[in-house]
């Protein structure tokens, strides 16, 4: 058990070192994680599909190559979980929706291709809110994922499957996607690290689109260095994605290893705090700011006046793109088909299939977006929202003239209870209040754990925002705060996390 414990709690970098030293084999590491998934997934529901056979075969081949003296990459042999929004041939891709149940993509997304090329071991596909629309995984057609810190609470969303798999030690790494906060908010409420790279920094090819101008894939991990190593594997130009940036990635790994904020100007965003923020969130955030100041950073207060309109603009632009991107799920070529009785017309079958296949939140957004793009309303809604978006970009530009990075809490509260917000869309949307501006502006942004809120003992996250293509600054600040806090606590954040394999098994044993 202690060896399994060591494997499961190890960082990705630690696993690679152990494989290179011959301490553990890749097969052993993979098998240990598959066992952990078998034990915990029924309770946490992180994974929608587990690819045990292929993972073990890959692991054995990596062991053989390493034994043969081949020089492998910096994450070779590390198991990873992939959000079920990315196409990976050989496994179903559902996007958390009934409408795609059982659909087998015939091709790999670029991110998956790069994971495979870098010899990571893909364990399976993780749960998400339907088509990534939600902040809790409660809109998934395949059940809600649980927060390992408290199984009655949400693991965040949409990437709650990825965040909970990493937080429950069912994978050291995971891939997430972030349209309005779907990597950062789940990271925040599970005590893990999650980074939304600069828009265009990671290819979107093969990732089922929610809102094309906002979507971005990124790393989920338990340490800042691991996140940076994964970012480096998946990032960089891809000719198959026109919006991919044809420039070298900034050196995120070096930044994560030499986190040092001395001399940095760090801006605290006035508009991202105050009313509506949990006391424990504010307290931990204030302490983190103090730590950064002590470490030599210059802390300044910065106002981004248009951020207060970010949510409104987001809920016009995102649904508009959603309404178009999800049109293709029409039962003609793949996915669920309902009402094809030989009598119904094509339009009837499309209508019935979409009615049966999409959940309430997806329908809500399709309707909002269809309305926002309608003739006669376009200028008032979509057009105005794009103008607000430009103003938010300008707010960021002005702020980055004065500061190297901006910081805020990652989300206003700690993990909320399952069921608490599902009937109140506006309350649910507020979970993304702090994260949305960076999606609208396309800049780099990450969430890093900064301790537990005193009132509920649940994780709090610090959001670090940097200019486009300055992702390294996000890691620099994240690594610094990680180091200072570990020094203060004498252990890592995740060392404080409950070990479900013990508590759950004990509970079951007791019954």
Partner 1 sequence: MAEVTTTAELMDYDEAMERFDPVLGLEVHVELNTASKMFCGCSTAFGADPNTQTCPVCLGLPGSLPVVNGTAVESAIRIGLALNCEVATWCRFSRKNYFYPDMPKDYQVSQYDEPICFDGHVDLEVNGDVFRIEIERVHMEEDAGKLVHQGGDTGRIHGADHSLVDYNRAGVPLMEIVTKPIRGLGTRAPEVGRAYMAHLRDLMVALGVSHARMEQGNLRCDANVSLMPKGSDELGTRTETKNVNSLRSVEGALRFEIQRQGALLAEGGRVVQETRHWHEEGWTSPGRSKETAEDYRYFPEPDLVPVAPSREWVEQLRASLPEPPASKRTRLQAEYGFTDLQMRDVLGNAGSLDLIEATVLAGSSAAAARKWWLGELARRANDAGVDLADLTITPQQVAAVQALVDEGSLNDKLARQVIEGVLAGEGEPAQVVADRGLAVVSDEGALSQAVDEAIAANPDVAERIREGKVQAAGALIGAVMKAMRGQADAARVRELILQKLS
Residue 243 touching partner 1 (CB under 8 A): yes
Please identify which residue in 375, 423, 510, 511 interacts with partner 1, judged by CB under 8 A: 375
Say whether 14 sits in a helix, a strand or coil. Answer: helix
Which of 83, 145, 163, 410 is catalytic? The answer is 83
Residue 240 touching partner 1 (CB under 8 A): yes
**Which residues within the stretch 303-362 sit at the binding site for partner 1 (CB under 8 A)?**
320-321, 323-324, 327-330, 332-334, 346-347, 350
Which pairs from 288-292 meet CB under 8 Å and 24+ separation?
Answer: 288/407, 288/450, 288/462, 288/481, 289/407, 291/481, 291/484, 291/485, 291/488, 292/261, 292/266, 292/407, 292/477, 292/480, 292/481
* Strand-pair partners of 417: 153
Closest CA to 56 of 112, 126, 123, 125: 123
Q: Are strands 173-177 and 79-83 parallel, antiparallel or unpaired?
A: parallel
Residue 158 annotated among the catalytic residues of the structure: yes
Rounded Cα distance, 45 and 55, in Å? 19
x/- track of binding to partner 1 for residues 390-429 (CB under 8 A)? ----------------------------------------
Residue 182 annotated among the catalytic residues of the structure: yes
Alpha-carbon distances, residue 269 vs 9, 108, 303, 311, 407 (angstroms): 35, 39, 6, 16, 6
71 CB neighbour count, 10 Å cutoff:
8
x/- track of binding to partner 1 for residues 144-183 (CB under 8 A)? ----------------------------------------
Residue 186 touching partner 1 (CB under 8 A): no
**Which range binds partner 1 by CB under 8 A, 57-65, 69-77, 201-209, 272-280?**
201-209
Which of 182, 203, 353, 445 is catalytic? The answer is 182
261 CB neighbour count, 10 Å cutoff:
25
Q: Give the pair of three-digit tokens for residue 147.
A: 């927060």
* DSSP conformational letter for 299: E
Residue 489 touching partner 1 (CB under 8 A): no
Edge-first strand listing for the sheet containing 459-466: 47-50, 121-126, 79-83, 173-177, 217-221, 193-196, 444-452, 459-466, 405-409, 265-269, 298-302
Please identify which residue in 77, 79, 96, 105 interacts with partner 1, judged by CB under 8 A: 105
Please identify which residue in 109, 127, 411, 447 interacts with partner 1, judged by CB under 8 A: 109
Site size for partner 1, by CB under 8 A? 44
Q: For partner 1, which is the closer residue by CB, 156 or 200? A: 200
Residue 373 touching partner 1 (CB under 8 A): yes
**Which residues within the stretch 76-95 sit at the binding site for partner 1 (CB under 8 A)?**
86-87, 93, 95
Q: Which residues are designated catalytic? A: 83, 158, 182
List of residues contacting partner 1 (CB under 8 A): 86-87, 93, 95, 100, 103, 105-107, 109, 204-209, 211-213, 239-243, 320-321, 323-324, 327-330, 332-334, 346-347, 350, 370, 373-375, 378, 382
């Amino acid at each position: 058990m202690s060896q399994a414990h060591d494997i499961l709690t190890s960082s990705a970098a630690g696993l690679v070192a152990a494989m290179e030293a011959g301490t553990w084999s890749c097969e052993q590491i993979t098998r240990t994680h598959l066992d952990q998934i078998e034990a915990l997934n029924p309770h946490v529901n992180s994974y929608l599909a587990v690819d045990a056979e292929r993972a073990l075969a890959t692991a054995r081949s990596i062991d053989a190559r390493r034994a043969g003296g081949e020089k492998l990459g910096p994450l070779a042999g590390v198991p990873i979980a992939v959000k079920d929004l990315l196409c990976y041939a050989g496994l179903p891709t559902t996007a958390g929706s009934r409408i795609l149940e059982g659909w087998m993509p015939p091709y790999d997304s670029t991110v998956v291709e790069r994971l495979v090329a870098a010899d990571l071991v893909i364990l399976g596909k993780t749960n998400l809110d339907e088509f990534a629309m939600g902040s809790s995984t409660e809109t998934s057609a395949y059940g809600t994922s649980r927060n390992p810190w408290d199984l009655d609470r949400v693991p965040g969303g949409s990437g709650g499957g990825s965040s909970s798999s990493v937080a429950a030690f069912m994978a050291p790494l995971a891939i997430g996607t972030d349209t309005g906060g779907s990597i950062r908010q789940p990271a925040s409420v599970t005590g893990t690290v999650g980074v939304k790279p600069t828009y265009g920094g990671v290819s979107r090819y093969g990732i089922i689109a929610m809102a094309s101008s906002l979507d971005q894939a990124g790393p989920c991990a338990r340490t800042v260095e691991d996140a940076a190593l994964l970012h480096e594997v998946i990032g960089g130009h891809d000719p198959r994605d026109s919006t991919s940036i044809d420039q070298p990635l900034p050196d995120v790994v070096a930044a994560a290893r030499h986190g040092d904020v001395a001399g940095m100007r760090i801006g605290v965003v006035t508009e991202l705090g105050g009313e509506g923020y949990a006391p424990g969130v504010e307290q931990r955030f204030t302490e983190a700011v103090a730590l950064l100041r002590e470490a030599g950073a210059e802390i300044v207060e910065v106002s981004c006046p248009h951020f207060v309109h970010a949510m409104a603009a987001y809920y016009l632009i995102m649904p508009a793109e959603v309404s178009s991107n999800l049109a293709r799920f029409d039962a003609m070529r793949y996915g669920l088909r309902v009402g094809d009785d030989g009598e119904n017309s094509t339009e009837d079958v499309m209508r019935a299939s979409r009615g049966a296949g999409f959940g309430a939140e997806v329908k809500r957004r399709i309707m909002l977006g269809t309305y926002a793009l309608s003739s006669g309303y376009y200028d008032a809604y979509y057009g105005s929202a794009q103008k607000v978006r430009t103003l938010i970009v300008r707010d960021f530009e002005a702020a980055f003239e004065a500061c190297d990075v901006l910081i805020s809490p990652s989300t206003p509260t700690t993990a909320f209870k399952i069921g608490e917000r599902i009937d109140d869309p506006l309350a649910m949307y507020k979970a993304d209040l702090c994260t949305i501006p960076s999606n609208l502006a396309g800049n780099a942004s990450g969430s890093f754990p900064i301790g537990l809120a005193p009132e509920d003992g649940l994780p709090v996250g610090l959001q670090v925002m940097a200019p486009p293509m300055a992702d390294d600054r996000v890691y620099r600040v994240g690594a610094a705060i990680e180091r200072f806090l570990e020094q203060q606590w004498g252990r890592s954040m995740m060392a404080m996390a409950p070990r479900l394999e013990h508590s759950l098994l004990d509970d079951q044993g007791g019954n």
